Structure 1
Amino acid sequence: MTMPPRCALAAAICVALPFVVPVAFAQDQPDPTTLDRVTVTGSRIRQSELETHVPVQVLTREAIDRSGFKSVADVVQNLTASGAGLNTKFNSSGNFGFPPDGGGVGAGAATVDLRHLGPKRVLVLVDGIRWINESSGSGVGSAVDLNTIPLALVDRIEVLEDGASSIYGSDAIAGVVNIITRKNVQGGDVELHYGTYEDLGGDTWGVDMGYGGGTDRLQWFVGGSYFKQEEVSSLEYGPSSVPVPGTGLANGSSATPQGRFVFLDPNTGLVHNLTTNTGATAPTFVPGQGCARTDDFHCFTTADRFNFAPYNLLLTPSERKTVFGQVRFAFNDNIGAHARVLYNERESANQAAPEPFFLGTDAGIYNHWGESSLVISALNPYNPFGFDLTTVGPDANLFLLGRRPVEGGPRRYRQDVETWYVAAGLDGSFDVNARPWSWDVNVVRSESKAEQTNLGSYNLRRINEALGDPAACAAIAGCVPLDLFGGAGTITPEMLAFIQPVVRDESENTLTLASANVTGALAQMPAGPLGFAAGYEYRKYEGSYQPDPITVAGEYNGVPSGPTSGDYDVNEIYVELAVPLFANPERGNALDMSIAGRYSDYSTFGGESTGKLGLRWQLADELVLRGSFAQGFRAPSIGELYGTLSRFDATLVDPCSGAANAVLPECVAQGVPADYVQTNSQISVVTSGNANLQPETSRSLNLGAVWSPAFATGTAWSERMDLGLTFYKHTIDDAIQAPDAQAILERCVFQADPFSCASYDRSDRGQIVRFDDILDNLGTIRTDGWDFSLGWLLPEQSWGQLRFDAKATFVSEFELVNESGQAEPRGPGVEVNDSAIPEWTSTLSTQWSMGPWALAWNMRYIGELRESCGGANGFPICDDSVADRNRMEATTYHDLQASWNSDAWLRGLRFVLGVNNLTGEDPPICLSCSLNGYDASTYDLPGRFFYARVGLRF
């Protein structure tokens, strides 16, 4: 909802009780009177952290080190509020194609998702300033790749689990991740690290270096980071060796090395569904024999399907190199300058099974070279049927030719990504009526470029030429007749040389930003100073994606996509007030209010206003109630606005498939024949951006409390204890999305929904040959839940000191209502589309320290999930085949780390040994997941991960 700025400032009052002390990675909280006034994530007003009205979880450097993780993404993805973010365990290439948002598949990148609302709805900042969105090599990304920010640069990570568009602008619907960099560093440090998976390999190693110093006026810090991760093949894990665990080849591909041929014999009028016998050479065709044949073909059955799973990767290889530096110079006591520079390179790769050919009128690949203009000539020396196989006109008789050319090797997608970021500015302070004020001015220029090289794909036009008249082929340089009929091994190197190109795609994202901020105390009120902040920000986003020329020409056999290019800019102003309403220091209670409003003017859709209001009520020294109500919005991204027609191949179950289902009323109404069986489980879905998209709007509510009981403070059994409880609720209207393709099929067949039925077409044989899934402002998302927390520090004893930090998140509601007013499949406790929303997630961190020794034990719990059997109905591995429901048991990971620190040599020496997943838990088998038999965005890789580190400060 759009409103003028004055209305945004008066949005609504909310009462919230979020807890102050961060939980699973909590840190000690000093007395508020001793805190410096600083800028804390969630507010632009300089204040002590205990005065904020919103829940901010702080992941300290010490807590990050104890986690055993070596990337920013791994750290934040293991928060209890995190959802299914992309990471290097997700082999995101091949048939994942090009999602509707135009952002590409993000191969090799890592993102953060809060409250299961998606990475695009999380704002990532570095020192309070926006970071550039990633380049995937296959689209214009709209989320930050956290792999561009090395842990060596990080001092702490502040996570705001609340909407903050009125403070920071677009994208902060689900929350904010603010990465605070290291400053005031004196001397140098270097750390070497190595890790490996016990039974899988996947070795990782690297080095982090930093050096800093300064004078009274000058402070500087430079550093570098190197990280390398080896790949792990799907063959290393048993459940990943078949398309869907426990179902054999039922979910395998119909494009096989032997070939599948569905055609009508023009001489007999019979439709054949054949595959070449194993080892057959120079196959012959006997007309009219049907499936009872003794020649070189037999009728295609499930047993002939292709197992593509062993070609995938469990862990994708990645090599990252980063150099960075920052400097600050004080001209005098009141004015200073600062600058930051970062350059990051990433080389990563993904792999998929050999790329199949799907040719014929039922192929559904949206390519005329394979669907409407292909003629496999009877003169082709390898055509065994004695007549033309054609897709042209009324005489079309080739319905499907599926061939998996294993001779050409697997598809290998290699990403080369370069990101640079330059920021500079001025800042200072001044007094007004003896009240301190501060200001800053910032400029940023950043660019991310990616090139993706694809080996193992094919040119459909050249396939067409090589299958046609040999005389026409001979007139084309390099063309030799192509053999798709003789089974594996019959495609020669000369044939491959003509039809197999190297495909190169490029993408780019650019960010230009300028901002100015001022904050201070407007006046002294009876209950304290009236805090004020205001500012202006200008941002310009530019993005482009350029696929390979053969893709643009429509000749690419793989997943097609169109070029994307666009830009937009935004001018914004904001105002924030911190109003003390009441204070009684003698009784330790106080009441204050925060008000914020922001107006954004976009070149694409116009103006948008948001407001935020919060209350904080300190009932006593040990009990605080606080909360906030916030409006938010997310502007459509470049890919969502300007992305052109592209395609992804979705693994779908056609509800009309099979004799029992083809007679359903809606199936009959669609002209599905009584003997219809879905030819291929992968159905091509066409997607596109939409220039008419409007912003998403949101409302966020936080209510909570934090209690630090006096009876557990400064006693013989407790140094300090903090208990927290938070209720959160997010509602997003006009959510930008494309409907779930599987849900479209089911709503059409079972509910006769007109919108769903209009989204796809069938051939006269029942096969789905068109499926459109275009972005729009379609949905409403509602989610709410609870955060629980405990932080307990025990007094130091002769045997050391103990600390316990725990956090749990319960998702009580998650509902995505589509354009038809019906709920999509996602919900609490449900696994769908390779992402899960567990009802319960929790962490417990136990830390013991004594002198130079420390021991940390972390537990991570993921609650039970349920899922569709993913087309595995009737198979024993599904818990309830009749109800199409499978249970995925709860999983608990145990992580153990031991460390030793000594200052005896130079400035410090540190040794660390650890193991994550100490008990070797395997992820629960997922029947509906696309690859590798488990949800890689929710669970760790199978087995234990051992690591060692050695660090030196000098």
Structure 2
Amino acid sequence: MNYKRKTLVVALSLIGSVGYMPFAHADSDSSGTLDRVEITGSNIKHSIKKEQASPVTVVSTSDLAKQGITTVEQVVNSLSSNQSSQGSSQAAGSATGGASFADMRGLGQQYTLVLLDGRRLPTNPFDGTAVDLNAIPLAAIDRVEVLRDGASAIYGTDAIGGVINFITKKTAQGLSIGGDLSVPQHSGGKSRSVNASYGYGNLASDGFNVFGALSYQKTDRIMTMDRKFASTVNSDTSTSSNTFPSNVRLPNGTWANNTCLPPYSVASGNRCIEYPGLFMGITPDVEQVSGFGKGAMRIGDNHELSLTYSITRTKNTSYIAPDPTAYDSSPGHPILPGGGQLWSRSVPLGDRVDQAVTTTQNLQLSMEGLIAGWDYKAGLGHGENYVTDTLVSGWVSGSAIQADINNNTFNPFDQSYANWAQLSRSGQISEAKTTLDSADFKVSNELTQLAGGPLGVAFGSEYRRESMYHNYNYGLSKDVLGTGQSFATNASGSRDIYALSAEMNLPLIKNFEAQLAARYDHYSDAGGSLNPKVAFRYQPDPKVMFRASASTGFRAPSLYQLYSPFNVSLTGGKGTDPIYCPGGAQQPGAGPNACVPDQYRLGNSGSSNLKPEKASSMSIGMVLEPVKNLTASVDLWWSMIHDTVGQLPWTTITDPNNAARFANLYVRDPVTNDYKYINLPYQNLGSLSTAGLDFKFSWQLPATHYGIFTIGLDGTYTSKYLQDYGDGLGYQSALGQYNTAASQPAIFRWQHELTLGWNHGAFSGVLSQSYKSGYTDANPNGQTNMVNTYSVWNLSGTYVWNKKVSVTLGVKNLFDQNPPYSNQQDVFQQGYDPRVSDPTGRAYFLKANYKM
């Protein structure tokens, strides 16, 4: 047949988990022909035997599985260019729905475009700016292609930070059954999964293939008390005046206490202080079921029709400290005859348990083939991401507790469950959904022969309709304490996007080719933008290649940033009212709680006044292959984003030195003058500028009597990261230091993945290292503390019998490396930063698979 399309598996199998497209040596192809495939970063098919003008990394999921990687979140975190700061563990104490995101270069998850087979997925409705990695069915993924430079001219104006393209298996035959088990050395965190797939038919001989895959995975939570590094109390540990039994704040402002219950609470002066972080689950219970099905058929010699459906359901159950409550007791009341406030915590009800269930579905109809010498690809798709948030147990009704205090039917000093159960509330508190409907069509061809090779062109068009809604159960959101949703309101929105694109590959002279591309996107709510890209590839010698690219970008505000519902969230850090109690000194007109240290309440909401962000990016690099099977590359990259959409840093607003400047953002109670929340809607800030270097090295050593050895290094060095938050605040650097302005971890100066491989017949082994450089800590006490480097080694061995049975045994975190100590207080976990490290510790794993 005339229509041919082969995958990269053959090329990648020689070089391990980090893939490169090697140069074409004189003896590497005896047939004189090269199959052409579509590589992420271009709509024009290229030879699989040469590096492209844009830097692309290809990762084999089967190789990653040998290192004990079992989730898409772990796959993305294994990329050195990724600096994600939100994963499933952030569901503890935050309304994230357990979502995890990719974040190339640390620019922000909204600038990394995540694709499935080259097409978009619906965004997570609780965030609205990015695709939840949990929505991708790992069991059906063959490989991951990562484009590390801007791709706005190819895939969309918002692909500023890069593209991560998950490629599903094209076909499958026979039955395959597998599973894995991971058991940590310490309590909690046990993980197990099972998967099965079946395929029937051969596209080449039968003209059709159908296959499906099912998988189930469950990971147990880890509680704070299961890990010493997370439960050690020191001066940096976050404390609370809400204790059990109750603290009493007398009308004259002094405190009195009852009995403290160590280790969760200890005496401090005339009251108890509690360590709420000791109650919580530092990782959640996660349960995921996914299904994937695909049917493909040949139509004649040159056309292929396929229908793909995937569904993933992820249940994330998080545990945080019992509900903090504060309520008044009138003078003469039997509980507190002298009157005052009761600062309590619902310990008898147990931890607050929150469960988010995310269901993602995608249906894609595709047609591709050859017409009159033109390769074409067309598709219709529908995707949706639906999330429910349910209060399971441990949550307290604010109205009930005050009413029962007034009626003398509730005693906050009674430790029995029955006394507290009357206050408990549960049920679904909110639901949210995003949908994405799309249609696309593109064609490509080689028009003529130039001095350096064929001139290739591609043209494309695309239509998308995005919609979202977020609804609340007001009966719970406005009454239940501690959810941060007491002010929440419903919201919804939708828009249409149209796009046209063109691309040309110009091999003007021998060993030199240029890529010219342009794409016009028009948003019904943000206008349009034309974004070009220019790239070149020059290979003066078979062993040396130079490449460079430059592009612009345009990102329309997401529907979530435009229409997200108003809600109030709590900060991890605490403080007093910076206007009426700066530094603990009460000022005239202060409310009764102005000088009581507490978490700050932030009012978050979308804004219809946002304007689009504009960006430019550039990369320049070289690739060396001095001998066959040894490839090294270095690429310099730089990005600048203007009018970034975000929120003013709450740490800057609550700085007493800025009190007068931002006083208008405080929404206050008209009677008491205590502030209710700080109003922080999304707005256009200043610019974000980043730069750095990517290093890659892959070497397959000559075969020996003891087997074949390989070495791979994937590293990223970030040299600049400056964010201007607008309002005259100036640029602030998060490079190598905790980002106090954004309440986020540092941008690591250096990250790498090192892989040492061995293969000898049916046996193979992998020793790998994940490394992150140290950084300056958050320093809430004004001290100069460093967060140490974080290095984790994994070791595994695999045996394959008769190409049907494979068994892998391994150890993750071989040396039982604890997360480095951090004094950050911006998330509920304490003693370390869960956004950049794994608390599981050493874990032993077994993975097995059988193919029939």
**TM-score by shorter chain over 0.5:** yes
Q: Which amino acid aligns with 1:430?
A: I
Question: Do the aligned partners of residues 784 and 248 (structure 1) sit closer, same or farther apart at CA in structure 2, a change above 3 Å counting?
Answer: closer
What SS does the corresponding residue of 1:779 show, helix, strand or coil?
coil
Equivalent residues of 1:202, 1:229 under 8 A apart: yes
What's the counterpart of residue 315 of structure 1?
283
State how far apart, in whole Å, the 2-side matches of 1:684 and 1:640 are.
Answer: 19
CA drift at 1:92: 2.1
Equivalent residues of 1:158, 1:177 under 8 A apart: yes
What's the counterpart of residue 464 of structure 2?
539
What's the counterpart of residue 863 of structure 1?
773
Q: Does residue 1:238 correspond to 2:228, yes or no?
A: yes
Q: Does residue 1:428 correspond to 2:369, yes or no?
A: yes
Residues 214-266 of structure 1 deviation map (CA, whole Å, 9 limit, x = unaligned):
24311222111111111111110113225xx52276x31111113234353xx
CA drift at 1:464: 3.3
- Give me the identity figure in percent: 24
Residues 528-567 of structure 1 deviation map (CA, whole Å, 9 limit, x = unaligned):
2221111111111111111223246566553112222111
State how far apart, in whole Å, the 2-side matches of 1:130 and 1:658 are.
Answer: 46
CA drift at 1:276: 3.5
State how far apart, in whole Å, the 2-side matches of 1:678 and 1:816 are.
Answer: 32
Q: TM-score, normalised by structure 1?
A: 0.81
Q: Which structure ranks higher in relative contact order (CA pairs < 8 Å, sequence separation ≥ 6)?
A: 1
Question: Do the aligned partners of residues 57 and 753 (structure 1) sit closer, same or farther apart at CA in structure 2, a change above 3 Å counting?
Answer: farther
What's the counterpart of residue 372 of structure 1?
none
Matches within 5 A, 1:27-426: 29=22, 31=24, 35-49=34-48, 50=50, 52-88=52-88, 90-94=89-93, 96=94, 105-135=95-125, 139=126, 141-215=128-202, 216=205, 217-241=207-231, 245-247=233-235, 251-264=238-251, 270-277=252-259, 301=269, 304-359=272-327, 376-378=329-331, 380-385=333-338, 401-426=342-367
What's the counterpart of residue 3 of structure 2?
none
State how far apart, in whole Å, the 2-side matches of 1:675 and 1:545 are.
Answer: 35
What's the counterpart of residue 774 of structure 1?
681
CA drift at 1:678: 4.4
Count, aligned residues: 816
CA drift at 1:724: 0.7
What's the counterpart of residue 19 of structure 2?
26
What's the counterpart of residue 648 of structure 2?
739
Residues 261-306 of structure 1 deviation map (CA, whole Å, 9 limit, x = unaligned):
4353xxxxx4333334559xxxxxxxxxxxxxxxxxx997486111
Q: Does residue 1:920 correspond to 2:826, yes or no?
A: no
Q: Which amino acid aligns with 1:939?
A: S
Question: Do the aligned partners of residues 414 and 302 (structure 1) sit closer, same or farther apart at CA in structure 2, a change above 3 Å counting?
Answer: farther
- Structure 1: tracts of 5 or more residues without a match: 1-20, 97-104, 265-269, 280-297, 360-374, 390-399, 471-479, 584-589, 714-719, 874-882
Residues 881-935 of structure 1 deviation map (CA, whole Å, 9 limit, x = unaligned):
xx532111112211111111121xxx51111001111111111111014213212
State how far apart, in whole Å, the 1-side matches of 2:672 and 2:272 are.
Answer: 22
Q: Does residue 1:566 correspond to 2:556, yes or no?
A: no
Equivalent residues of 1:164, 1:175 under 8 A apart: yes
State how far apart, in whole Å, the 1-side matches of 2:388 and 2:241 are.
Answer: 31
Larger mean Cα displacement after TM superposition, 823-832 or 527-536? 823-832
Q: Which amino acid aligns with 1:541?
A: E
State how far apart, in whole Å, the 2-side matches of 1:312 and 1:824 are.
Answer: 36
Q: Which amino acid aligns with 2:132?
A: D
Question: Do the aligned partners of residues 425 and 59 (structure 1) sit closer, same or farther apart at CA in structure 2, a change above 3 Å counting?
Answer: same
Q: Does residue 1:829 correspond to 2:736, yes or no?
A: yes
Residues 756-790 of structure 1 deviation map (CA, whole Å, 9 limit, x = unaligned):
34333789999755422221011311111111121
State how far apart, in whole Å, the 1-side matches of 2:591 and 2:310 are.
Answer: 63
Question: Do the aligned partners of residues 31 and 488 (structure 1) sit closer, same or farther apart at CA in structure 2, a change above 3 Å counting?
Answer: farther
Match of 1:684 among 591, 598, 601: 601
Equivalent residues of 1:801, 1:848 under 8 A apart: yes
Equivalent residues of 1:836, 1:938 under 8 A apart: no
What SS does the corresponding residue of 1:939 show, helix, strand or coil?
coil
CA drift at 1:834: 4.5
What's the counterpart of residue 378 of structure 2?
441
Question: Do the aligned partners of residues 533 and 301 (structure 1) sit closer, same or farther apart at CA in structure 2, a change above 3 Å counting?
Answer: farther
Residues 707-760 of structure 1 deviation map (CA, whole Å, 9 limit, x = unaligned):
111xx33xxxxxx211111111111111110012112223xx33x486434333
Residues 494-525 of structure 1 deviation map (CA, whole Å, 9 limit, x = unaligned):
55325534343211121111111111123333
- Structure 2: tracts of 5 or more residues without a match: 1-13, 26-31
CA drift at 1:593: 1.2
What SS does the corresponding residue of 2:257 show, helix, strand or coil?
strand
| CA RMSD between the two structures | 2.9
Residues 818-856 of structure 1 deviation map (CA, whole Å, 9 limit, x = unaligned):
113435655111234352311111121111111111111
What SS does the corresponding residue of 1:837 show, helix, strand or coil?
coil
State how far apart, in whole Å, the 1-side matches of 2:280 and 2:732 are.
Answer: 27
What SS does the corresponding residue of 1:640 show, helix, strand or coil?
helix
What's the counterpart of residue 371 of structure 1?
none
Residues 609-654 of structure 1 deviation map (CA, whole Å, 9 limit, x = unaligned):
2111111111211111111111112222222111122111113354
Q: Does residue 1:613 correspond to 2:534, yes or no?
A: yes
Equivalent residues of 1:651, 1:681 under 8 A apart: no
Question: Do the aligned partners of residues 536 and 219 (structure 1) sit closer, same or farther apart at CA in structure 2, a change above 3 Å counting?
Answer: same
Matches within 5 A, 1:429-508: 429-431=370-372, 436-454=373-391, 455-468=393-406, 470=407, 481-484=409-412, 487=413, 489=415, 493=418, 496-498=421-423, 500-508=425-433
Q: Which amino acid aligns with 1:467?
A: I
Q: Which amino acid aligns with 1:57?
A: T
CA drift at 1:946: 1.1
What SS does the corresponding residue of 2:421 show, helix, strand or coil?
helix
Question: Do the aligned partners of residues 827 and 330 (structure 1) sit closer, same or farther apart at CA in structure 2, a change above 3 Å counting?
Answer: same
State how far apart, in whole Å, the 2-side matches of 1:941 and 1:520 are.
Answer: 51
What's the counterpart of residue 370 of structure 1?
none
Equivalent residues of 2:256, 2:271 under 8 A apart: no
Larger mean Cα displacement after TM superposition, 757-766 or 451-460? 757-766
Equivalent residues of 1:22, 1:58 under 8 A apart: no
Q: Which amino acid aligns with 1:866?
A: T
CA drift at 1:568: 1.3
Question: Do the aligned partners of residues 23 and 725 (structure 1) sit closer, same or farther apart at CA in structure 2, a change above 3 Å counting?
Answer: farther
Equivalent residues of 1:260, 1:401 under 8 A apart: yes
Q: Does residue 1:843 correspond to 2:742, yes or no?
A: no
Q: Which amino acid aligns with 1:56?
A: V
- Give structure 1 regions of 4+ aligned residues with deviation exceeding 6 angstroms: 21-24, 655-661, 672-677, 761-767
CA drift at 1:489: 1.2
What SS does the corresponding residue of 2:395 show, helix, strand or coil?
coil
State how far apart, in whole Å, the 1-side matches of 2:154 and 2:226 are.
Answer: 47
CA drift at 1:868: 2.3
Matches within 5 A, 1:565-644: 565-583=492-510, 590-644=511-565
Q: Which amino acid aligns with 2:831?
A: G
Question: Do the aligned partners of residues 679 and 214 (structure 1) sit closer, same or farther apart at CA in structure 2, a change above 3 Å counting?
Answer: same
Match of 1:946 among 835, 844, 849: 844
More strand by share: 2
Equivalent residues of 1:163, 1:173 under 8 A apart: yes
State how far apart, in whole Å, the 1-side matches of 2:461 and 2:554 are.
Answer: 18
State how far apart, in whole Å, the 2-side matches of 1:325 and 1:691 are.
Answer: 40
Question: Do the aligned partners of residues 914 and 825 (structure 1) sit closer, same or farther apart at CA in structure 2, a change above 3 Å counting?
Answer: farther
Equivalent residues of 2:621, 2:634 under 8 A apart: yes
Q: Which amino acid aligns with 2:82?
A: S
CA drift at 1:166: 1.4
Question: Do the aligned partners of residues 826 and 674 (structure 1) sit closer, same or farther apart at CA in structure 2, a change above 3 Å counting?
Answer: farther
Question: Do the aligned partners of residues 721 and 942 (structure 1) sit closer, same or farther apart at CA in structure 2, a change above 3 Å counting?
Answer: same
Question: Do the aligned partners of residues 358 and 522 (structure 1) sit closer, same or farther apart at CA in structure 2, a change above 3 Å counting?
Answer: farther
Larger mean Cα displacement after TM superposition, 851-860 or 162-171? 162-171
